[in-house]
Chains A and B, each alone.
Chain A
Amino acid sequence: MPDRAWTLDALEAALAGLPRPEFRARLRRDLERRARMTTMVDVSTITQTATPVLRVRDAAQAIDFYTRAFGAREVMRFSAGGSIPHARLVIGNATIVLADEGPAHGYPGPDQLGGSPVSIRLDVDDPDAVVDRAIEAGATMVLPVTDHFYGERTGTVLDPFGYRWSVTKVIEPMGVEEMHRRMLSAGGPPPDAREWIPEGYRTLTPYLVVQNAPAVLDFAKVVFGAQETMRSVGSAGGVHAEMRIGDSMVMVGGGAPELSWRGDSMATALHMYVPDVDAVFARAVGAGATVTHEPREMEYGDRECGFVDPGGNTWYVATSHGATYVPAGLGTVTPFLHPLRADAVIAFLTRVLGATTVNRYATPDGVVHHATVRIGDSAIEMGDAHGPHQPMPTMFYVYVPDVNAVYTRALEAGGTSLASPADQPYGARVAAVTDPFGNQWYLAQPNRVDKH
Chain B
Amino acid sequence: MIDSEDERALVEAAQENPSQFGALYERHVDRVYAFVLLRVRDRDVAEDLTADVFHKALANLRRFEWRGAPFGAWLIRIAANAVADHHRRPSRERNAPEALEALEAPEAPEFEDLARLFRYVDELPDVQRTVIVERFAHERSLREVAAQLGKTEGAIKQIQLRALRALRERISPTAHKTRGGDPKEGGHA
Contacts and interface: CB of A to CB of B under 8 A. Distances in A.
Given A3-B172, A42-B63, A32 B21 contact: yes
A9 B184 contact: yes
B121 A40 contact: no
A28 interface: yes
A6 B168 contact: yes
Interface string B11-50: 0000000110110011001100110010001010011001
A27 B43 CA distance: 14
A interface: dominant SS: helix
Contacts of A36: 18-19
Interface in B80-101: 97, 99-100
Contact of B100 (A5, A16, A27): A16
Interface string A1-42: 001111111111111111111011001101110111010101
Given A8-B182, A11-B167, A17-B100, A3 B175 contact: yes
Contacts of A40: 18, 61-62
Contacts of A14: 102-103, 109, 114, 117
A194 B156 CA distance: 95
A35 B24 CA distance: 13
B71 interface: no
Contacts of A35: 18-19, 21-22, 58
A326 B10 CA distance: 73
Contacts of B60: 42
Instruction: Categorize the interface residue count of chain B.
Output: 35 or more
Please indicate which of the listed interface residues B46, B60, B118 has the most CB atoms of chain A within 10 Å of its own CB.
B118
A13 B106 CA distance: 13
A27 B99 CA distance: 24
A8 B184 CA distance: 7
A20 B168 contact: no
B46 A34 contact: no
Contact of B137 (A7, A19, A34): A19
B117 A15 contact: yes
B164 interface: yes
Given A4-B109, A17-B37, A19-B46, A28 B22 contact: yes
A6 B174 CA distance: 10
Contacts of A20: 43, 47, 133, 137-138
A28 B43 CA distance: 17
A6 B171 contact: yes
Contacts of B18: 35-36, 38, 40
Contacts of B26: 28
Interface residues of A, number: 32
B168 A18 contact: no
Contacts of A15: 117, 121, 132, 135-136, 167
B54 A27 contact: yes
B59 interface: yes
A13 B102 contact: yes
A17 B34 CA distance: 8
B107 interface: yes
Nearest to B61: A40
Contacts of B138: 20
Nearest to B114: A14
Contacts of B161: 8
A71 to B, nearest CB: 14
B45 to A, nearest CB: 11
Please indicate which of the listed interface residues A8, A13, A19, A20 has the most CB atoms of chain B within 10 Å of its own CB.
A19
A19 B118 contact: yes
A21 B137 CA distance: 8
B113 interface: yes
A10 B102 contact: yes
B136 A16 contact: yes
27 contacts: A3-B172, A4-B109, A6-B175, A8-B184, A8-B185, A10-B107, A11-B168, A12-B136, A16-B97, A17-B34, A17-B41, A17-B103, A19-B33, A19-B50, A20-B133, A20-B137, A24-B29, A27-B54, A30-B55, A31-B55, A32-B21, A34-B55, A35-B21, A35-B58, A38-B18, A42-B60, A42-B62
Interface of A: 3-21, 23-24, 27-28, 30-32, 34-36, 38, 40, 42
Given A7-B184, A19-B37, A27-B29, 13 more contacts: A3-B175, A4-B109, A10-B107, A14-B117, A16-B100, A18-B118, A28-B25, A28-B26, A31-B22, A31-B54, A34-B58, A38-B18, A40-B62
